[in-house]
Amino acid sequence: MRTVERILDELKDMINSRKYSPLRSKLELLEPVDVAWLLGQLEPEERSPVFRLLPKEMAAEVFSELEADEQEQLIESFGDRELEFVLSGLYSDDATDLIEEMPANVVKRILKHTDPQKRAVINQLLKYPKDSAGSMMTTEFMDLKANMTVAQAFDRIRKVGLERETVYTCYVTDANRKLEGVITVLEMLMADGEDTVGELMNRNVIFFHTLDDQEQVARAFDKYGFLAFPIADGEGRLVGIVTVDDAMEVIEEENTEDIEKMAAILPTEKPYLKTGVFETFRSRIPWLLILMISATFTGRIIAGFEEALAAQAVLISFIPMLMDTAGNTGSQASVTIIRSLSLQELRFKDLFRVVWKEIRVAVLCGIALSVANFLKILLVDNLIFQAHVSVAVAAVVCVTLCLTVAVAKLVGCSLPMLAKKCKFDPAVMASPFITTIVDAIALLIYFAVALAVLKI
């Protein structure tokens, strides 16, 4: 797919030598999202003239694919009529997204040059909570009436189809816009022209409400393989649709968010290179501070056992290994559980199954790690490094390993599920948070076992 990048050099040449006619011909053949990418690679002052070259049918779609700062810059360069033309070509969800990204003075100008009907739709869409189905949907769906014949339905599709987000799934509504059924273009193609839509439609419509979570809607696409889902308001009236391409975007956003939370970052919702230094700093420092402060309590535990460590200084050298292993073990369990909760493969009622499984895995891991560690102490530390680690100390370390692994996996698998039950985001219960807890537990176990066995 590097053709687009090769074309970029060609296009830059054409722009520099003002070969606008061949430039337009080349752009015409590209997909809107590729044209948008190319515009983004140009200098700001080059963008407007190139944008104006685009065929009219393509302009609005290319505009909707640009980054927010590029859109803002173009709007500033547009005359009023140009702005009206581009805005009239945007689907309502893209127009709403645009308004959400623009500064206030630009929004004023946009709304002034949007026709009243569309303005009302946009205002309605803006009211929906962030991350809800309502904020994701668009209002340009293909609607039919049950008493239409298939032939009449196709006539309607021909008449308005180009202004619809998708025509292949059609929604049948009654006079009050209540959703009665759903029918696909394939079903209508296979039928007779005189059959009615009402006879053919599927009355068991799977739909969502405007206030449903966008992730729930997006995952339904993964589950059912549909092209679109209808969105209804509280009274069962069809108000919009969500299409599968929107769902893919949401899934990627939600995955990025989860991954960032699991690494103790506050989600930024922007590509890496588009976030400034201060913005990145602000997304990372809160958890770093919190975790640093909580890690100092782990330090207090060590300070409390300073005499024991002075008596058997060799104990100190095993602290990093024990803490690291506790952290890795805990986060293996927590990350797995968080991901499964996210994919809706697990529910809170599975808690006991999960805990029972993790205990058994922990026993196996604990045994494997202890044996490996014991051998390592005997063969590597003592023989190669001449560390003279006594068997008693080796036993203390290995017993601690076993117990720590068990506790770490227990904590790691149950905290995310408890978080979900208490309506917190399980992804926050991930690696850094759990690492801090299991680090402290690992040290407490270590010193307890050491005091008991070594009598120090």
Please state the closest distance from residue 134 (CB atom) to its own copies, in A: 17
- Stretch in the footprint of its own copies (CB under 8 A) among 13-21, 66-74, 130-138, 151-159: 151-159
Q: How far apart are CA 359 and CA 369, in angstroms?
A: 15
Please state the closest distance from residue 127 (CB atom) to its own copies, in A: 24
Q: Does residue 320 bind its own copies (CB under 8 A)?
A: yes
Q: Does residue 451 bind its own copies (CB under 8 A)?
A: no
Please state the closest distance from residue 311 (CB atom) to its own copies, in A: 11
Please state the closest distance from residue 4 (CB atom) to its own copies, in A: 10
Q: How far apart are CA 264 and CA 274, in angstroms?
A: 20
Dihedral-angle region of residue 143 (phi above 0 means left; psi in -120 to 50 means alpha; beta otherwise)? beta
Q: How far apart are CA 210 and CA 70, in angstroms?
A: 30
Binding positions for its own copies, 32-51, rule CB under 8 A: 33
Q: Hey, what are 42's tokens?
A: 């140009």
Q: Hey, what are 140's tokens?
A: 């340009």
The answer to whether 231 and 241 have CB atoms below 8 angstroms apart is yes
Residue 80 or 192: the one with the smaller Cβ distance to its own copies is: 192
Q: How far apart are CA 432 and CA 445, in angstroms?
A: 20
171: closest CA among 208, 203, 199? 203
The answer to whether 348 and 421 have CB atoms below 8 angstroms apart is yes
Q: Residue 235, CB half-sphere, CA atoms under 13 Å: how many? A: 7
Residue 238 or 405: the one with the smaller Cβ distance to its own copies is: 405
- Stretch in the footprint of its own copies (CB under 8 A) among 46-54, 112-120, 132-140, 310-318: 310-318
Binding positions for its own copies, 191-250, rule CB under 8 A: 204, 206, 216, 220-225, 227, 244-245, 247-249
Q: Is 196 helix (H, G, I), strand (E, B) or coil?
A: strand
Please state the closest distance from residue 237 (CB atom) to its own copies, in A: 20
Q: Does residue 445 bind its own copies (CB under 8 A)?
A: no
Among 56, 313, 349, 422, binds its own copies (CB under 8 A): 313
Cα 394 to the center of its chain, rounded Å: 45
133: closest CA among 234, 259, 252? 234
Residue 44 or 299: the one with the smaller Cβ distance to its own copies is: 299
- Stretch in the footprint of its own copies (CB under 8 A) among 40-48, 69-77, 234-242, 254-262: 254-262
- Stretch in the footprint of its own copies (CB under 8 A) among 90-98, 120-128, 340-348, 444-452: 340-348
Residue 84 or 260: the one with the smaller Cβ distance to its own copies is: 260
Residues 6+ apart with CB under 8 A from 355: 410, 413, 414
Q: How far apart are CA 183 and CA 177, in angstroms?
A: 16
CA dist 34 → 2, 117, 126, 169, 200 (Å) = 11, 31, 28, 27, 39
Residue 109 or 284: the one with the smaller Cβ distance to its own copies is: 284
Among 288, 378, 391, 451, binds its own copies (CB under 8 A): 288
- Stretch in the footprint of its own copies (CB under 8 A) among 50-58, 103-111, 152-160, 174-182: 152-160
Binding positions for its own copies, 67-126, rule CB under 8 A: none
Binding positions for its own copies, 406-425, rule CB under 8 A: none
Among 148, 211, 302, 453, binds its own copies (CB under 8 A): 302
Please state the closest distance from residue 58 (CB atom) to its own copies, in A: 13
Please state the closest distance from residue 99 (CB atom) to its own copies, in A: 21
Binding positions for its own copies, 342-401, rule CB under 8 A: 343, 345-346, 350, 353-354, 357, 360-361, 364-365, 368-369, 372-373, 376, 380-381, 385, 387
Q: How many CB atoms neighbour CB 220 within 10 A?
A: 18
Q: Hey, what are 154's tokens?
A: 């196709």
Please state the closest distance from residue 451 (CB atom) to its own copies, in A: 17
- Counting residues that bind its own copies (by CB under 8 A) gives 114
Among 316, 391, 392, 451, binds its own copies (CB under 8 A): 316
Q: Does residue 31 bind its own copies (CB under 8 A)?
A: yes
Computed from CA positions of residues 42, 45, 48, 50, in that sequence, does the dihedral angle turn out positive or negative? negative
The answer to whether 213 and 242 have CB atoms below 8 angstroms apart is no
The DSSP symbol for 206 reads -
Q: How far apart are CA 250 and CA 256, in angstroms?
A: 10
As a residue count, the chain comes to: 456
Computed from CA positions of residues 36, 38, 41, 46, in that sequence, does the dihedral angle turn out positive or negative? negative
Please state the closest distance from residue 195 (CB atom) to its own copies, in A: 13
Residue 106 or 314: the one with the smaller Cβ distance to its own copies is: 314
Residue 110 or 338: the one with the smaller Cβ distance to its own copies is: 338
